[in-house]
Amino acid sequence: MTVVLKKPNRSARKPKGDGHMRRGEILEAAQRIFLAEGYQRATIRKIADEVGVSSTALYMHFRDKDEILLEISDTAICRLMLINSEISARQEDPVMRVRLMLQAYMTFALENPNAYQLVFCGHGGLLSEDKVAATQELGERCFQKFLGVVEEISAADRLKLGTVESAAQALWTACHGLVSLLITKPDFGWASTAELRTVLLESMLCGLTRD
């Protein structure tokens, strides 16, 4: 028996719909294509086909793919900024707040793997410096919120090792390393995600801070 393989059909063209919903569909499709094919090989036409709209319709929402990537980045960082701002303002022990901020960071990464990889696993050199300046400034403000809580730990003489900067950077990079590997190496024989997160956080915080 001869088996005939059918070519995959493109997404059917969609009728005009709610602008906000369509914009969200474009961003989600762009994330998938940027990761699957690489940012340089991605095109507006490919993104439009994935969403099921014409290229002309897509241009009504975004000028070019640079603007799409910047919005993906800004949206992700703004969400983390809100989380960090809310946690940092709580009247709780600073070590607990650091723990909560890092837990929230890892949760965000694992629940939004496409956005996380695009924003935090590097698109350096893809866009000109003037286009990413605002995004970089927002990312720095986000990190400063976290740094401020680590500084509270140091001010209370509860930091065992390093400086405020090195401790904050070590905590962040450790969490980044874990979630990046969980996202990009899903077939490795990982222990449960919850256990890995707990072991990482508690070992780092116990090693860096004192009661």
Q: Which two tokens stand for residue 122?
A: 């590097």
Q: What number of CA atoms fall less than 13 Å from residue 164's CA on the CB side?
A: 16
Rounded CA separation 118/122 (Å) = 6
Q: Where in the chain is the domain with CATH 1.10.10.60?
A: 9-62
Rounded CA separation 89/7 (Å) = 54
Would you tell me which CATH number, out of the four given (1.25.40.10, 3.90.226.10, 1.10.357.10, 3.40.50.620), belongs to the domain 64-208?
1.10.357.10
Positions in the chain short of pLDDT 70: 1-20, 122-132, 134
Residue 209, beta-bridge partner list? 159
Which residues contact residue 87 at a Cβ distance below 8 angstroms, ignoring those fewer than 6 apart? 97, 100, 101, 104, 149
* pLDDT reported for residue 12: 46
Phi, psi torsion values for 159, nearest 5 degrees: -95, 115
What is the greatest pairwise CA distance in the chain? 77
CATH level 3 topology of 9-62: Arc Repressor Mutant, subunit A (1.10.10)
The 3-state DSSP class for residue 209 equals strand
Rounded to 10 degrees, the C-alpha dihedral 23/104/142/37 comes to: -40
Q: Where in the chain is the domain with CATH 1.10.357.10?
A: 64-208
Dump pLDDT digits (tens) for 112-151.
Answer: 887 888 778 765 555 666 666 767 777 788 889 999 999 9
